[in-house]
A and B are shown apart, each in its own frame.
Chain A
Amino acid sequence: MSGRRRWLSVPVTLAAAAALAALSGVPVRWYPDAAAELRLSWSARPERLEVCRERTDAELAERPAHMRQRMECEGRSATYALTVLVDDDTLEGSVIQGSGMRQDRPVHLLRRHPVGEGTHRVRVRLVRREERTEEERRERREHGARVLESLPPRAELDTVVSFQRAAAVLVTYRDGAIVVQAASPR
């Protein structure tokens, strides 16, 4: 190897090392410059709509001993219509339901909506889609505690929020209401 090449190897090594370091921290765009975001995030149990009846003695007799429960309940989880409006723009109109194969697990919601910087009127509306029958109303009264834990038939947020640049405003569901959680200070 000639001396000239040997000396050339030094700057090449330095350049390769510099390239390694530079590639280790390349600034790459994540969010648009003036981005603000309306983020909806919560987990809550959907309301259980069920009708119960007592089994007859004959029905119970047909069952194995360990399955002879008097009360039989059939039901389903409620679904909800979610509407999100910022000023007069509808950002979302969708149906949400419980997770799991039978949709009987909690509703896990995570939505991100880009919003322009500034002050906006935000309306988030959650409305149960199913009408309750008289039977279900009765059941609801009897299972009051569990009902309290679940999403109400209707919840709404209507407020004015100041959206700051490069920050998200978080809307969540807490204690039976849809509320705004403060955005991170910039």
Chain B
Amino acid sequence: MSPDIRPPDPRSLRRVEAAARAAVRALDAVVHRLYGWRANPLHQSGALAAWMLVLLTVTGLYLLLVYRIGAPSASVARLAADPWLGGWMRSLHRYATDLFVIATVLHALRLFGQAREWGPRTRAWLSGLFLFGVGLACTWTGFVMAWDSFGLRLAVAGARLFDVLPVLSEPVGRIFAGDRPVPGAFFFLNLFVHIALPLAMGVGFWLHVSKVARPALAPPRGLRWRVTLVLLALAILWPAPLGPAADPLALPATTPIDLTTTWWLLLAEQASPWLVWGVVAVGAALAVSVPAFARRARAGAWTPSVVDPRLCTGCDQCTQDCPWEAIEMVARDDDRPTLVARVDPALCVSCGICAASCAPMGVGPPGRTGRDQLAALRDGLLAELQRLPVDDRLVVVRCGQSSATLRGRLASAGARLHEVTCVGNLHTSVIELLVRQGAPGVLIAGCPPRDCVGREGPKWLEQRLHHEREAELQPRVDRRRVRMVTAAIGLEDEVLVELAEFRRALAALGPPTPEIDIDLRDLCEPASDEVPA
């Protein structure tokens, strides 16, 4: 490497990441206020993009039936003029393409801002880039298929780019010069590519989600159909434009272009082809290298989970709960008859979900296992609680991803705060210990379920609290003293309203009944005969 060329400083990327995170949070705040967190499409951007692919496939199959390679522009014009089916089907196809691109960009921005693009997630990032690139190429061929003035413009711009490459002996641009009809082979090839690319996207999509357990492949039903209906209404009321049939010898002053998907066209037309290729190459290289520059040292909050084989009972729960399929059950190397969990550090994202899934507290990132959580609680908040009057002991367990505004407002409201990296990381023994040690109630403020950086934190916690999922909250704990609330950015008021309501409910319950103090550490310690010598 030349001494003048230095790799980018990771701190620069951190600043970009922080800016992206701020942008995502600002957008989330606005959307939450408008639609509520349940219907926030930004949380479902990836699933929304996947749903758009479904719409594109369905509408595309119909369009394929009526498309004629021998008369491309005439067949598309006839389709667009059909008010009953063809017109809105074509427009729906177009608008779904636009939304696919928008959703993909938002999805990438969100994951980048949340630092969810490196390490074990590198494959998902790279395959996502592939999907995006192939998607753009597919839109290109799709517009050319229509063979209106916009399609011709794209074809000419594309030919301009490809003709500088030393690949084809005859320049592609001559096909569109007008001295002879555009050969049918061109439209056939274009159609073939337009169909082949989505097949490649299928492979990319499989790669994209292959390392994720229970991937969210579609948005929730309500959002899915609302978005579909809005696009459908748009397609009917505001059909996508179709320019005049392509005429290579015409020089129209303007053409209607789809800026959402072909924003690169102006650069491709105006700049030197080599400059365009350079921009593409540099942009692709930067995007591909993001996981390398975003990589963190696997220490502190990023330390992979470890298993204490002495405590592992082989119950398999951590394997089931891990959102990244990073844990597998393997044979033990001692004489106990059960299997033992093993974490693959290359797949573990340190979300800590497993720490809360293990009743004997034998797995989790170092410093965040159930035992570590109990120890930290005893050393910190519990001692503080003992000094407070009962009415002031209400504890709010807050996800560290929630807003700083919320932290300040909860503290001002007199709640005792306990922060966790993710509510899915919160072991139910911690809740039990808080209630047993005099907290009148525990309010757990987690992220919206589809926006959890640990992917399934709120879902698993809710099941551990109320549906007896393993490592469940023990029946002896009064459920009326434990409540979950969603702390969505921009909706801090709702958490405070919930807090006030919870306080009233707790006041009606009266002070917590003193119970026998059980040392949970002793309770969870494996029996001496289970511990190998």
State the A residues within 8 Å of B (CB). 1, 5, 8-9, 12-13, 17-18, 20-21, 23-33, 35-37, 39, 41-43, 99-100, 105-106, 108, 110, 166-168, 170, 172, 181, 183-184, 186
Residues from chain A with a CB closer than 8 A to the CB of B99 are: 20
Chain A neighbourhood of B102, CB < 8 A? 20
A28 touches B257 (CB 8 A): yes
For B263, the closest partner residue in chain A by CB is A23
By beta carbon, the residue of chain B nearest A37 is B251
Query: Once bound together, how far apart are the Cα atoms of A105 and B233, in whole Å?
Result: 54
Which residues of B are at the interface with A, using a C-beta cutoff of 8 A?
33-36, 94-95, 98-99, 102, 149, 153, 169-171, 173-174, 177-179, 230-231, 233-234, 238, 240-241, 247-260, 265-266, 491
Q: Complex Cα distance A43/B175, Å?
A: 11
Q: Which residue of B lies closest to A165 (CB)?
A: B251
Q: Return A26 CB to nearest CB of chain B, in Å.
A: 5
Q: Chain A residues near B230: list those with CB within 8 A.
A: 13, 17
Is A23's CB under 8 angstroms from B260's CB?
A: yes
Inter-chain CA distance A31–B248, complex, in Å, is 13
Q: How far is the CA of A124 from the CA of B81 in the complex (A)?
A: 44
**Inside 8 A of A106's CB, which chain B residues have their CB?**
170
Assess whether A5 is in contact with B171, with CB atoms less than 8 Å apart: no
Question: A20-B95, A28-B266, A39-B178 are known contacts. Are A5 and B234 too (CB-CB below 8 A)?
Answer: no
Give the residues in chain B near A8, CB-CB below 8 Å: 34
Evaluate contact between A24 and B241: CB separation under 8 angstroms: yes
Known contacts A20-B95, A24-B258, A28-B254; A172/B179 CB under 8 A: yes
Contacts A31-B252, A37-B251, A110-B177 aside, 14 further interface pairs with beta carbons under 8 A come to A1-B35, A1-B36, A5-B33, A17-B231, A17-B233, A20-B234, A23-B259, A24-B240, A26-B256, A27-B256, A28-B266, A39-B249, A110-B171, A181-B179
A108 is contacted by which of B171, B178, B240 (Cβ under 8 Å)? B171
Asked whether A27 lies within 8 Å of B169 as measured between CB atoms, the reply is no
Q: Give every chain B residue within 8 A of A184 (Cβ-Cβ).
A: 178, 247-250
Asked whether, in the complex, the Cβ of B177 is within 8 Å of the Cβ of A26, the reply is no
B contact residues around A32 at 8 Å (CB)? 253
Asked whether, in the complex, the Cβ of B257 is within 8 Å of the Cβ of A5, the reply is: no
Choose one: A24, A25, A100, A167; the contact of B249 (CB below 8 Å).
Answer: A167
Residues on B with C-beta less than 8 A from A12 are 34
Please determine whether A35 and B240 come into contact, CB atoms closer than 8 angstroms.
no
B34 and A24 contacting across the interface, CB-CB below 8 Å: no
* 7 cross-chain pairs, A with B, having the tightest CB-CB distances, nearest first: A25-B241, A41-B177, A184-B249, A25-B256, A31-B251, A27-B254, A1-B36
Asked if B254 contacts A29 (CB within 8 A), the reply is yes
A24–B179 CB distance below 8 A: no
CB-CB < 8 A to B252: which residues of A?
30-31, 166
Are B178's CB and A110's CB within 8 A?
no
By a CB distance below 8 angstroms, the chain B residues around A1 are: 33, 35-36, 491
B-chain residues with CB within 8 Å of residue A42 when the two chains form the complex: 179
Q: What chain A residues lie within 8 Å of B169 (beta carbons)?
A: 99-100, 105, 108
Alpha-carbon gap, A96 to B331, bound state (A): 74
Task: Decide if B253 touches A33 in the complex (CB within 8 Å).
Answer: yes
Task: Determine if A167 and B250 form an interchain contact, defined as CB atoms under 8 angstroms apart.
Answer: yes
Contact: A168 with B174, CB < 8 Å? no
A–B complex contacts, Cβ < 8 Å, 5 sampled: A18-B238, A26-B257, A30-B254, A39-B178, A186-B250
> Which single residue of chain B is at the shortest CB-CB distance from A112?
B177
Do residues A25 and B240 form an inter-chain contact, with CB atoms below 8 A?
Answer: yes
Q: What A residues does B258 contact at CB under 8 A? A: 23-26
A183 contact from B233, B240, B249, B265, Cβ within 8 A: B249
Give A30 to B250 CA distance when docked, in angstroms.
Answer: 11
A24 to chain B, nearest CB (A): 5
Cβ of A21: which chain B residues have Cβ within 8 Å of it? Answer: 95, 234, 238, 240
Contact A30 B249 (CB under 8 A): no
A20: nearest chain-B partner, CB-CB: B98
B247 contacts across to A, CB distance below 8 A: 184
Given A8-B34, A26-B256, CB of A170 within 8 Å of CB of B240? no
Report Cα–Cα, A41/B177, bound state, in Å.
7
Contacts A18-B238, A99-B170 hold; do A41 and B253 have CB atoms under 8 A apart?
no
**Docked complex Cα distance between A70 and B230 (Å):** 78
A56 smallest CB distance to B (angstroms): 37
| B179, B231, B251, B254 pick with most chain A CB within 10 angstroms | B251
CB-based contact B256/A168 at 8 Å? no
C-alpha spacing A8/B169, complex, angstroms: 58
Q: How far is the CB of B249 from chain A (nearest CB, A)?
A: 4
Which chain A residues border B178 with CB–CB below 8 Å?
A: 39, 41, 168, 170, 181, 184
Do A170 and B249 have beta carbons less than 8 Å apart? Answer: yes
Q: Which partner residue on chain A sits nearest B230 by CB separation?
A: A17
Bound-state CA distance A27–B95 (Å) is: 17
Residue of B whose beta carbon sits closest to that of A41: B177
Question: Are A108 and B234 interface neighbours, CB within 8 A?
Answer: no
State whether B177 touches A39 (Cβ < 8 A): yes
- Residues of chain A within 8 A (CB-CB) of B250 are 166-168, 184, 186
Write out the residue numbers on chain A whose beta carbons fall within 8 Å of the beta carbon of B233: 17
For A33, the chain B residues whose CB sits under 8 A away are 253
Residues of A with C-beta under 8 A to B177:
39, 41, 110, 170
Q: Is the CB of A30 within 8 A of B234?
A: no
In the bound complex, do residue A30 and residue B95 qualify as a contact, i.e. CB atoms below 8 Å apart? no
Residues of A within 8 A of B248 (CB): 168, 184
Find the residue from A35, A41, A100, A106 having the highest chain B CB count within 10 A: A41
Give bound CA distance, A110 to B248, whole Å. Answer: 13
Minimal Cβ-Cβ distance residue in A for B156 = A30
Q: Which residues of A sit under 8 angstroms from B95, Cβ to Cβ?
A: 20-21, 24
Cα(A36)–Cα(B250), bound, Å = 9
Query: Given A24-B98, A170-B179, does the pair A9, B34 have CB atoms closer than 8 Å?
Result: yes
Of the listed residues A21, A29, A99, the one surrounded by the most CB atoms of chain B closer than 10 A to its CB is A21
**Which chain B residue lies CB-closest to A36?**
B251
Q: How far is the CB of A38 from chain B (nearest CB, A)?
A: 11
